[in-house]
Amino acid sequence: DEVIRFEGVVKRYGRRQAPAVTDLTFSVRRGELVALVGPSGCGKSTILRMVNRLVEPTAGRVVVDGRDTGHVDVVTLRRGIGYVIQAAGLMPHRTVRHNVGTVPRLLGWDRDVTARRVDELLDLVGLDPATYGDRYPAQLSGGQQQRVGVARALAADPPVLLMDEPFGAVDPVVRDRLQTEFRRIQTDLRKTVLFVTHDLDEAVRIADRVAVFSSGGVLEQLADPQTLLSA
């Protein structure tokens, strides 16, 4: 049961540039967390962004839920895809509650339903709504901001989550805790997740399968984490 499939995908940002992604074919099954790992600049973010069409492939197809993303309306496509980026990407002049409720509001959810959902999500990511709900992002630690970013991405319960170095900007101790907690949350939620990291240890800890890339977005290996550990 494949949710995301790359079929012979190539991405070139410019005619003179080497391809950022080279003939990529692989798929992600429902409820699976696949980590994309490899050195900086090898094309991981580009691969992720082709799923929600922040980047368009030069050749090949990206298929989500059986449909070629190139033929799906972008708004409809993104409704089903949560996106978490490194520096959380929160709106600085909006409270935590407002940030988390962004997508439900855009979708026109009832106010009370949205408010309940927001508090439920804050609890889920380990932030007490009464303490943190009315704060602004700058009044939170980096790790807390990332929690809010995860809550926001989950708000409308999208089946697919894209995470681009989501815990990359926090110190190692906090990162360790966020990894463990996210893994626990994911065990319940069973989202289909693509998770970008340059850290093989993080990939092995968090993923069901690890896709190892080299420069030019070349897929070198798609392996069970245990295989990588024993290699």
Secondary structure E strands in the chain: 2-11, 21-29, 33-37, 59-64, 67-68, 81-84, 160-164, 192-197, 209-214, 218-223
3-state DSSP assignment of residue 35: strand
The residue among 91 and 180 lying less far from ligand ADP, judged by its C-beta, is 91
Does the footprint of ligand ADP cover residue 20 (CB under 6 A)? yes
Among 9, 43, 50, 146, binds ligand ADP (CB under 6 A): 43
Does the footprint of ligand ADP cover residue 57 (CB under 6 A)? no
- Structural contact between residues 52 and 77, judged by C-beta atoms closer than 8 angstroms: yes
The residue among 20 and 154 lying less far from ligand ADP, judged by its C-beta, is 20
Q: Which of 164, 166, 231 is nearest to 196 (CA)?
A: 164
The residue among 26 and 136 lying less far from ligand ADP, judged by its C-beta, is 136
Does the footprint of ligand ADP cover residue 42 (CB under 6 A)? yes
Among 31, 136, 199, 223, binds ligand ADP (CB under 6 A): 136
Q: Which of 131, 138, 207, 130 is nearest to 166 (CA)?
A: 207
Structure tokens at 209: 């399968």
Does the footprint of ligand ADP cover residue 44 (CB under 6 A)? yes
Among 22, 52, 69, 95, binds ligand ADP (CB under 6 A): 95
- Structural contact between residues 88 and 149, judged by C-beta atoms closer than 8 angstroms: yes
* Among the residue ranges 39-47, 64-72, 140-148, 150-158, the one whose residues contact ligand ADP (CB under 6 A): 39-47
Among 22, 46, 52, 192, binds ligand ADP (CB under 6 A): 46
Residue with structure tokens 């602004």? 136
For residue 98, count other CB atoms closer than 10 A to its CB: 17
Does the footprint of ligand ADP cover residue 226 (CB under 6 A)? no
Residues that bind ligand ADP (CB under 6 A): 13, 20, 38, 40-46, 93-95, 97-98, 136
